[in-house]
Structure 1
Amino acid sequence: MSCSEWLLNTLAVEPFEKLAQIATILWGIWSARNLKVWQNKMLTTQMAMQSSVLQVKQWRDSQKLKLARSNMTIQANKDVVVKWRSPDEGRLKINVDAHIVLGNPWFSCGLVLRDHGGNFIAARARRFAGVVPVVEAEAIAILEATRWASLLDLQHVDVESDSLISVQAINKTSENYLEAGVVFQECRDVLRARSDIVLSFIKKQANKVAHSVARVPCDVNCFVDFSTPPHSVLEYLVSDNLMD
C-alpha cells in the first residue's frame, strides 16, 4: 500500500481524534519543510511537532470561539421580536406575499392595505393559473400591488415584500433572474413612473397578514376583494397593532 492509499483508507475509517493527530503530524512536516526550503532553517522532529500541536490547538480554540459567538448571535436573533411597522403619517402601506403549493397548477398572491394608524383598509387575494418559480410569484405579487394602488388611485404608498431577492432585483436595476426578469422590469417601469411608491423588504415574521390573505381560497384567474378583514387574518392584525 502506498502512503496516499494508506492515508485515504485511514481518513475513511478512523475516529475524529485519530484524524486530528494525523493532520497535526502532516502539518508539522509541511511547516518544517517550508522553513527549510524558503528560509533555510532546520527544525528537529520534536520542535516541529511541538509547534504543530500548538498551532492546531490555537486553531481549534478559535473555531470553538467562533461557534460559540455564532450560537449566541442565532439565539439573540431568535429572541428579537420582528415587528410590522405602520407607514409614516400621510402614507399608506401594502404588504404582499405569494403562495405556491407544490404540484398545483396555480399560485396566489395576497395584498393588504393599511394606513399610518395600522387600520385595515382593504385586502385582495388573487389566484393565477400556471407553475412558476417562487421568486417569479413573489415578483408578480409586487407588480399586483403597484397595479392595485393605481386602480384604487392611491398616492404615497409603501409596498413591502418578504422576498429579499425580488426586492433587491427590482431596486437594483442591474439584476435579472431569467423568467422573472420580465416581471422585474415591469415593476421597475412602474416605480420609475410612480416615485411616490416605495418598495422595501420586510421579514416573514412581520408579514403574516399578507401571508394569510394569500392563502384565502379563490377561483383560478380571478380575485377576491375584502373591505373588512377576512377572519383568518384578524389575529395577526390585532398582534401587529399591539406591537406597533
Structure 2
Amino acid sequence: MSALCTRRIVNTPLCTRCQQANETPLHATYWCPSSVAVLEKVSFFSKLGHGAWGSFVDDEVCFLIVLLWLNWKERNAVQHGEQVKPTMVIYEMGLSIWESIKHARGRNHEGQVDDCIIAGNDVHWAPPPGGSLKLNYDASVAANGEQVGIGSVCRDSDGNMVAAMGERVAGRLKPCAAELFSVMRGVEWAMERGWTGLVVETDCLEAVRMVNGSDECLASEGTIVERIREILGALDIHNIQYVPREANMAAHAVAGVVARGNGRSSWLGVGPSWLMDVIGNDGPVTGYFYREESGEFLSTTGHSHVL
C-alpha cells in the first residue's frame, strides 16, 4: 500500500481495515487486528504466537492458508467499498471451505472428485445417472470488467446436449457473485423448462459452500444465495456440486463467448460448432450439420436460437 500511495494510486498507506499501521501483505493477512481476530479462533493459534512452525501438522497448515487467503480477500472487499464482514462469518467461511477441501481429498484416492472423471492428470465431465440430466454453470468476466457472461449447459446421461443458454449481464460483479448469479439464472431457466431432480455442478467452490450451507447467508451475496436455495427446493434438488474447471468446460465456453457478445442466446439439442466441439471431447453427442444459407446449426432433435 505504501508503494501505491507513493505513486498516488491511493491516498494513504494505512491498512484498509484497521487504519492503525502501514499496510503490507503480511500485515493485511496476519498482523492486522481484524485478521488476528479471525486467526485467534483456531485451536492452534498459540503455536502462531510462539512461532512453533515445526509442530504444525498438515491439516493445520492448510487451514491456516485458507484463513490467510480469506483475510486478504476481505481486505480487497473493504478496499473496494464493501461492508466489513463479522469475524465469525469469515472464520465460518474458512471452516466450511476447509471441510470441502478435506471431503475432496478423501475421494481423490478413489480417482474421483464429486461427479467428474479423473484419469491420471486428465479430468473430464462425467454423465449423470441413467435417465437423469446434469446442469453445469459458469460465469466469465469480460476483459474490460464492465460485463459478465453466464453460461448454462444441460446434458443427459449419454453426454448429449439437451439445451444450453448464455446471457451477457452488464455491470461489475465480484467473481463469486458472478458465479452465484450464473447458478441463479441457470436454475431459473431449469424451472422454466420444467426440469426436476437434476444434478447441478459449478467450478466455484465458494459458491457451492454458500448455497449448500444450512444457515442464513450473511455475506453480501446472501440475497442471491437465498433465491437459489428457494428454486432448488422447488426443483427437488438437495444441493449443488463442485467440480474442477476441466469438468465444466462446456458452460465455461458459453460464458466466455457471451461475455463478448450481446443479449441472450439459447440452443436446444445442438449448439454452434465451438460448443459442440467442447462437448464432443467429453463423450457422444447428437449429430448435427450446418446449413450454409441460413447460418443455423441443425439436428433432428433441436435448433439454435439467438435472442
Select the structure that is richer in helix: 1
Q: Does 2:158 match 1:130?
A: no
Deviation at 1:101, TM superposition (A): 2.3
The one-character-per-residue Cα deviations of 1:17-41 (angstroms, maximum 9, x if unpaired) are xxxxxxxxxxxxxxxxxxxxxxxxx
Query: Alpha carbons of 1:216 and 1:229: their partners in 2 closer, same or farther (altered >3 Å)?
Result: same
Rounded to whole Å, the distance in 1 between the matches of 2:154 and 2:210 is: 23
Report the TM-score when normalising by structure 2.
0.51
C-alpha contact (below 8 Å) 2:177/2:221 kept by paired residues? yes
Deviation at 1:146, TM superposition (A): 0.9
Q: Where in structure 2 are the equivalents of 1:186-197 lying within 5 Å?
A: 186-196=227-237
Report the equivalent of 2:193.
Answer: 152
Q: Secondary structure at the match of 1:188?
A: helix
Higher Cα Rg, which structure? 1
Q: Where in structure 2 are the equivalents of 1:70-149 lying within 5 Å?
A: 79-149=120-190
The one-character-per-residue Cα deviations of 1:77-101 (angstroms, maximum 9, x if unpaired) are 9943222111111211111100002
C-alpha contact (below 8 Å) 2:153/2:165 kept by paired residues? yes
Q: Which has the higher contact order (CA 8 A, sep 6+)?
A: 1
Q: Secondary structure at the match of 1:215?
A: helix
Report the equivalent of 1:235.
Answer: 277
Report the equivalent of 1:174.
Answer: 215
Rounded to whole Å, the distance in 1 between the matches of 2:188 and 2:209 is: 20
C-alpha contact (below 8 Å) 1:135/1:165 kept by paired residues? yes
Rounded to whole Å, the distance in 1 between the matches of 2:231 and 2:155 is: 21
User: Which residue identity does 2:156 align to in structure 1?
Assistant: D
Q: Secondary structure at the match of 1:216?
A: helix
Query: Alpha carbons of 1:208 and 1:175: their partners in 2 closer, same or farther (altered >3 Å)?
Result: farther
Rounded to whole Å, the distance in 1 between the matches of 2:126 and 2:204 is: 17
C-alpha contact (below 8 Å) 1:170/1:187 kept by paired residues? yes
Q: Which moved more, 1:126-135 or 1:170-179?
A: 170-179
C-alpha contact (below 8 Å) 1:157/1:197 kept by paired residues? no
Deviation at 1:211, TM superposition (A): 0.5
Q: Secondary structure at the match of 1:214?
A: helix
Deviation at 1:197, TM superposition (A): 6.1
Q: Secondary structure at the match of 1:109?
A: strand
Q: Secondary structure at the match of 2:124?
A: coil
Rounded to whole Å, the distance in 2 between the matches of 1:113 and 1:119 is: 9
Alpha-carbon RMSD across the aligned residues, in angstroms, is: 2.9
Q: Which moved more, 1:130-139 or 1:167-176?
A: 167-176
5+ unaligned residues in a row in structure 2: which ranges? 1-53, 55-104, 106-110, 112-117, 285-307
Q: Does 2:267 match 1:226?
A: yes
User: Which residue identity does 1:123 align to in structure 2?
Assistant: A
Rounded to whole Å, the distance in 1 between the matches of 2:214 and 2:229 is: 7
User: Which residue identity does 2:246 align to in structure 1?
Assistant: Q
Query: Which of 156, 163, 169 pairs up with 2:204?
Result: 163
C-alpha contact (below 8 Å) 2:139/2:148 kept by paired residues? yes
Rounded to whole Å, the distance in 2 between the matches of 1:208 and 1:193 is: 27
C-alpha contact (below 8 Å) 2:139/2:150 kept by paired residues? yes
C-alpha contact (below 8 Å) 1:98/1:211 kept by paired residues? yes
5+ unaligned residues in a row in structure 1: which ranges? 1-58, 60-72
Q: How many residues align?
A: 172
C-alpha contact (below 8 Å) 1:173/1:188 kept by paired residues? no
C-alpha contact (below 8 Å) 1:157/1:198 kept by paired residues? no
Query: Alpha carbons of 1:102 and 1:178: their partners in 2 closer, same or farther (altered >3 Å)?
Result: farther
Report the TM-score when normalising by structure 1.
0.63
Query: Which of 169, 172, 184 pairs up with 2:225?
Result: 184
Q: Where in structure 2 are the equivalents of 1:180-219 lying within 5 Å?
A: 180-196=221-237, 198-217=239-258
User: Which residue identity does 1:240 align to in structure 2?
Assistant: D
